[in-house]
Structures are given as structure tokens and as C-alpha cells.
A and B are shown apart, each in its own frame.
Chain A
Amino acid sequence: MTDVLSQYSVLALYSAMAIYAIAFVLFTLDLAGVLPKFPKLARIAMSLTVLGWILEVSADVMRGIAAARVPWANMYEFAMTGTSVMVGVFLLVNIKWDLRFLGAFMTGFVLLLLGLAATRYYVEVVPLPPALQSYWLVIHVFVATLATGFFALGFALSLTQLLQASRESAVENKTKTRLGFLSRLPDSVTLENYAYRIIIIGFVLWTFTLIAGAIWAEKAWGRYWGWDTKEVWTFIIWTIYAGYIHARSTRGWRGSRSAWLAIVGFSAVMFNFTVVNIFFKGLHAYSGL
């Protein structure tokens, strides 16, 4: 049963990746505006993303059922759940604002992460070690993953904001720019407002992650904070995003400078998820690979 389900899970994941790949190509063509005769490209790509997402979530759920626990106890499972959440957040926010122009980035980024996870970090289903047998695994890790989803979208928005700001200043100064394709996108101020609203949700979730992690650490390791490498990086990320939120209120830092902080923040999130998990020594290590 376990074997069959986990094999179906892998199959569903690879199918999801194939569909994301097609969506990525269509999103990119739409963004580049090279096929003006096909105005529905983004819409088709969006539908494919929804389909890919449903497949990925089922892959994730099957993995969880196969393991008889939440599907986020090692790198492979983190990647699968984390990217599901990223795409989920992207689709959810699209109900409110039209952010299809980020589709190429989101599907491309998710594909990259899934590709790495499936080829380099795939592990068979194994039981949870005693240290991870806690309902805090469900709460702490899931909320951290959710925060990562919002930070990813915020990163994409901030990056687009920077490019857009660069195009806008080129237009103002009447200099040449290769970013002409961005003219159909919202202006940099709108993008900044979107990014801010998404990132503050991520920040609240991250604050909760930090507190929930401390509560769990107290139960499992006997101290709520011990500057373990993962704790250090969670703190660093929190501080960077706290900086981002303050930067938006500081004259001279609003706009592009604060956008850079959002980008540095998400880079730290990715560093924490990859390099810290794989190469750094610490108490969180056994939950890594």
C-alpha cells in the first residue's frame, strides 16, 4: 500500500512538472508579447497552472497518506509541499489581482525547485524519528511553508517593481530600454503596494513560525531558544523583513531600496531552506535530508 501510493505520488508529481513546464513556456511567450495573434495565451497557461497544481497537491497528499503523517519531514517533501503552497498562494492572490504576468516566474521557479528535489533529494518513505513526533511539526513547519509562499510572491513582485522602475526612468529620460515588454504591466508604485501587502502577510506568518518553533524547541530540546543555525537564520530572515517594513516608512528608502530588501529577504529564505539544511551543522539537521 505504502509503496504503491508513493509511486503514484511520484507519477503525479512528474505529471505536474510536465504541465508546469508547458504553462511556463506559454507564460513566457505571453510576457514577451511575441505572439500578438494569440491573446489567450496567458489564460491557457493559467488553466494549465491550476491543473498542474491539482496534480501536485494530490502527489503531496498521496505521499502523506503513504507515510501516514504530514508530507513535510525531509527535503524532498519540503520542496513538494513548499512549491504547492507557493503556487497555491499565487493562484489565490490571482482571484483578487491579475498577477498573471508573474506566471512565468512562479512556474519556472517552482519547476527548478521540484527538479532539484526530485533528482537530488528523493528519499523513500521512512518513519518519523521521535524528535519529530509532535503536533508542532504540523503547525510550525506548515506555517513556515505558508510564509515562504507569500515571501516568494512578494519577491517576484519586488523584482518586477525594480525592473519596472528602471523602465519608467528610462522612459522619463528618453533613453533606450530593453524592458519595453513591461509597459503592459502595472506601474512600479502599484507593484510596490502589491508586494508590501503580500509580504506583511508573510511577515506575520513568519513571526508565528518563530514563536511556534520556540515553543516546540522548549518541549523537545528543553530550551526555547539556543541559537541553533536554523534558529539563527529564522531570526535573520525576520530581521530583514522587519527592516523591509520599516524601510517602506522611511523617507529615501521607499521604492527601489525597500524592494532590494524584499529580494535579500527571500534570498535568505531560500538559503535557509537549501544551504543551511544541507551544509550547516545543527539540531535541525536530522529533519533535512
Chain B
Amino acid sequence: MRTLSRPSDHYDSDARVVNPTLGVVGWLRWFWRQLTSMRTALLLLLLLAIAAVPGSLFPQRSSDPNGVTQYFRDHADTAPTLDKFQLFDVYSSVWFSAIYLLLFISLIGCVIPRTKHHIVALRTPPPATPANLSRLPAFVSATLKGVTAEEVLESARKALKGQRYRVVRYDRDGAITVSAERGYARETGNLIFHFALVGVLITVGFGSGFGFAGQRVIVEGQAFTNTLLAYDSFNPGRFFQASTLVPYTITLDKFTAKYEETNKQAIGQPVDFTADVTTQMKGEAPQQTTIKVNDPLRIGGTDVYLLGNGYAPQVTIRNAKGEVIFTDIIPFLPQDKNLTSLGVVKIPDGLAKQIGLIGFFYPTVSQGHSGASFSIYPDTIDPQLTFDAYQGDLGLDAGVPRSVYALDTGNMTKIAGRNSPNGALEMRPGETVQLPNGLGSVTFDGVKRFASLDIHRDPTQGWVLFFALASLGGLLISLFIPRRRMWVSVTQKTKGSVTVECAGLARGDDPTLEGAVAALEQSIERDLGLTRD
């Protein structure tokens, strides 16, 4: 059954030893045959599985950049060596890429000749009936009385047609026969599966380059306009162009977090996060909608995800004369599941000295034995804001970019806080405390919620899904549709009886072949109205 082109070491193909002819072309051909052989493909497949393992053992820059930083800190001696072998970038590493690229070249090299052969096979009628059907893997024969050979063959033809076989008649001395084949879809499905995988690889590889991923924190009442400058962080793909950003606006009207209150095993566990937002496309009427975890907002070709939330205390600072020199709502970063949150306020101008404040916000404050405060519940039942105050040089004038979430206290002195004679500045909402040394005052006006939004655009992810589903469909067809050939041979005997022989041959794994051959013979008898003696 050589209608399919398989690699030379496919168990179904001829076991010919292929000797390379001498010369460059011969060797190249030999190398190509090695690369596209089943054994090499299998080896590369298993190598790929092994090569993927280190990516789960070491933190990866792509998925866990903080983990990588931590690893460098904890294993300062080994980390640089590991980094040299790209063990923190496994999935974009040279060696990982080499394996999957070779695998895909091997795959393409295998699949293209098979496609050619398959197209030919689709147009080729089933081959002539073999002389000796009883030698085939599935065979039954029966002697029928009171019918003519032509009637029997016609019945067989009808039955095979009914099962969507392609049927051709071949007659020879003394016997009339049909040859039938079905299940071409098995190979079609197999080829679709492999081509679809190539499709996945290409769309994943190139597609992501056209999109971007950006993050933005918005406090309740604030708005975000989709322009490059409005993002807190922005990672464009290689081919991204800023002109593709659609200038829509998202306003965070309200953020609601619900926590478990009744189940004693899970008090304080979040049960729902909802961001109520108003969106507006340029020149259109505003629309109200919600963004939830697992329920992103699709707008202007982008997807907007709710990936985080926290508290943003509003703080007002006045100078010694009582004049407001600073007022802002500052997002604090959550530090634990009860949302003890950390934030920084920098006052470069307006006071006698440069002041930096490191603040902790506790939605429901409690104190441990050591005197340290912490939050015991993530909702604002008993909120408190505390500040450690530093005076000195904020380092903002040096022109070095500084994070808004960190304070470099290297050139500063602590004037209030734990382990300082003045103690920390502690405020409930609405309270005001004085800064030490008569510098001024700090007021905790109140607290709002912020939502941290991830905004993504990946114009090819629909194609990735298409190819992934195509590969699944191809896989189903290629594994579960049997490819088989059936032959029926009818011989006229003397005394008005005929002998019918049915035989079948499968390509690949086919557990139901024998049953199908027996069923065919029985359906012929049934069709002719015969019963067995």
C-alpha cells in the first residue's frame, strides 16, 4: 500500500537501507533525509520536552522578573553562569529556539511530500483487486444460493457506496470484483494537524510583534486616555506603531471589592472585584460598563483587564503658616492579603527642608506584641495611615529617574517614625498631625480605591486560536477516522450458487476492521433477502 509517502523509518514503509551517493548533493540529500526521518523528529520532540523543564525550575524574565532579581540576590555566585546559558530566558534562548526550529523544519520536510502524494492519491482510483483475498488481514467468504453473481456484486457496491467508499469495478477471469477505499480524511486530518501547528508557530512568533502591553493605575474619579504618555509602563512589540492607538477614554467611576464575611474558614477572602467605568470613543456618546477579573473590556482594538487594586489615601500638606503646599491622592502598593499598603510622598518644595514620607495604610489596623501595626481585614473597617518622615536631600535634582514608589533615604535623616524620638505620624481619616521641627502639618483627608488596569493589543491572537482549533480538528480526524480498503469478489459456481469473498486492509491503527468486513458480508445477504442455513 504505497500510496502515502512516509519517512523511510516509518514502521509502515519499506525497510530499504539508503546509501548516500558520494558528493555534496548526495550528502545534503542524506542529511535532509536524516532530518526529516521519524527518528529525528521523535528525538527533537523529546528534546523539546526536556529543554522546557529548566524554565519551570528557574524564574523567567518573561513571567517573573522579580523572581530573577531575587535569584541574583540569593545566588550571587551561580546566577551569572546560569544567565550565560540563558536559563532565565529559556523560551527565547538559542538552544530552545534551535530545537523547535529544527523540529518544525523536520516537520515541514516530512509533510510537504506527503501532501503531494495525498493529492495524487485523492485522484487515483482504488487499486485492482488482489488475486488472493484470503491472505489479507480481514477476510470472510460465503456461498450464496438462488442469486446471480451480478446481483451480489451490485448489492456489495451499494453497501460500500452507502458507507461512503469510493468504489471501482474490476473483472477478471471467472470472477467479478469491486475494489473500494475510504477514509482519505485520515491523512487529510493528519496533514491539517501538522500544518496548523506551523500556523500556530508563525502567528505566535510574528503576531505578538504588532501589539503592545501597557499598565495604568487609575484612582476612583480619575480618567485614562489611551495615548502613549498616559501609561505607567508600556511594552511595545517589535513592529508596533503608536499611530495604531485608538484615543478612547476610560473613567473609573467606582471600584467595589467584596470580601467573605460569613464563612469562618475564609473571612476576608476576596469574592468579587468590580470596576464600574465610563468609556468614551472619540466623537461618540459615553457608555457605562464594568470590568471584572475574568471579564475584560474590549474597546478600540484593545483588551482592558482588571489585574490589581488597592488603596489611594488623599494627603494634604501645609507649611508652618498653614498654606496648602501639596494635596494629592496617592496609590499605595498592597503588601499582603489584608492590604497593608505602602506608599511614598515626596515634598521637594514649599517647606523649609525637603521632606520624604514613607507611609503605611492599614484598612483595618491592629497592633502586634512588638508594637508594629498591621492590617487584619482588607476592607476599611478601622483605617489608619502612618508616616515615617525624613528630611534632607530627596535626590530629585540630580536628573536621575526615581521611582514614585520608593524613597532613597541615603542622604536623609529620620525625623519621625519608629525608633525615632518623635514616633510615627498616625492619622485616622480627617485627622491632621504636625510635622516635627515646626515644619508644617499633614492631613489624611480620606481614602479611595484604585484599580490597576492592563491594556493589551494582540491583533493576531484570533489567528493563533484559529490554527490551534484547526490542529485539534485535524487531530480528531486523523486519529479516529479509519482508512481502509475493501474488496468483494464474486464467483459463479455450478448449480446456481455463487461464492462471495470480502476482504479488508487498514492503514494505521484500525481496531474495527474485522467487524467491518463481517458486517459488509452480512449486509449483502440481508440486502438480497437471504438467510443463513
Contact = CB atoms under 8 A, between A and B. Distances in A.
Partners in one complex: yes
B49 A227 contact: no
Contacts of B296: 219, 222
B293 A211 contact: no
A239 interface: yes
A239 B46 CA distance: 7
B456 interface: yes
A279 to B, nearest CB: 11
A287 B313 CA distance: 32
With most chain B CB atoms within 10 A of its CB, the pick from A123, A126, A226 is: A126
Nearest to A218: B461
A131 B294 contact: yes
B265 interface: yes
Contacts of A222: 213, 296, 303, 305, 307, 454, 456
Interface stretch (B165-173, B422-430, B464-472): B464-472
B279 to A, nearest CB: 18
A242 interface: yes
Contact of B42 (A235, A250, A280): A250
A207 B42 contact: no
B53 A247 contact: no
B456 A223 contact: yes
A126 B91 contact: no
B52 A235 contact: yes
Given A127-B266, A246-B38, A249-B10, A280 B56 contact: yes
A232 B454 contact: no
Interface stretch (A28-36, A103-111, A113-121, A193-201): A193-201
B472 A208 contact: yes
Interface string B281-299: 0000000000011111000
Nearest to B257: A130
Contact of A250 (B38, B56, B465, B468): B38
Interface residue tally on B, bucketed by range: 35 or more
Given A222-B213, A246-B38, A281-B67, A236 B292 contact: no
Given A207-B471, A211-B468, A222-B456, A125 B509 contact: no
B265 to A, nearest CB: 4
Contacts of B454: 222
Contacts of A130: 270-273, 292-294
B529 interface: no
Contacts of A239: 45-46, 48-49, 52
Given A197-B509, A222-B305, A250 B39 contact: yes
A204 interface: yes
A126 B52 CA distance: 34
Contacts of A243: 42, 45-46, 49
Contact of B475 (A207, A218, A240, A276): A207
Interface in B68-124: 90-91
Contacts of A197: 509, 511
A36 to B, nearest CB: 32
A126 B266 contact: yes
Interface in B2-53: 9-12, 15, 38-39, 41-42, 45-46, 48-49, 52-53
A224 B273 CA distance: 22
A127 B269 contact: yes
A136 to B, nearest CB: 8
Contacts of B41: 246
Given A222-B307, A222-B456, A214 B49 contact: no
Given A211-B468, A233-B56, A280-B56, A219 B42 contact: no
Contacts of B335: none
A166 interface: no
Contacts of A235: 52
Nearest to B453: A222
Nearest to A134: B294
Given A207-B475, A232-B56, A276-B56, A220 B293 contact: yes
Given A126-B263, A193-B511, A250 B270 contact: no
A141 interface: no
Interface stretch (B58-66, B137-145, B344-352, B517-525): B58-66
Contact of A207 (B52, B461, B472): B472
Contacts of B295: 219
Contact of A249 (B38, B59, B67): B38
A112 B449 CA distance: 47
Interface in A62-88: none
Contacts of B90: 227
B469 A251 contact: no
Interface string B482-513: 00000000000000000000000000010100
B27 to A, nearest CB: 23
B221 interface: no
A229 B139 CA distance: 52
B52 A232 contact: yes
Interface in B324-366: none
Contacts of A129: 269-271
A124 B265 contact: yes
Contacts of B230: none
Shortest 9 CB-CB contacts between residues of A and residues of B? A126-B266, A124-B265, A239-B49, A130-B293, A250-B38, A222-B305, A134-B294, A232-B56, A229-B56
25 contacts: A126-B266, A127-B263, A127-B269, A130-B270, A130-B273, A133-B293, A193-B511, A196-B509, A197-B509, A200-B480, A203-B479, A204-B475, A220-B293, A221-B305, A222-B296, A222-B305, A229-B56, A236-B52, A236-B53, A239-B45, A239-B48, A243-B42, A249-B38, A250-B9, A253-B42
Given A246-B45, A249-B11, 14 more contacts: A126-B266, A131-B294, A204-B475, A204-B476, A207-B475, A220-B293, A223-B456, A226-B63, A232-B52, A248-B509, A251-B38, A276-B56, A281-B59, A281-B64
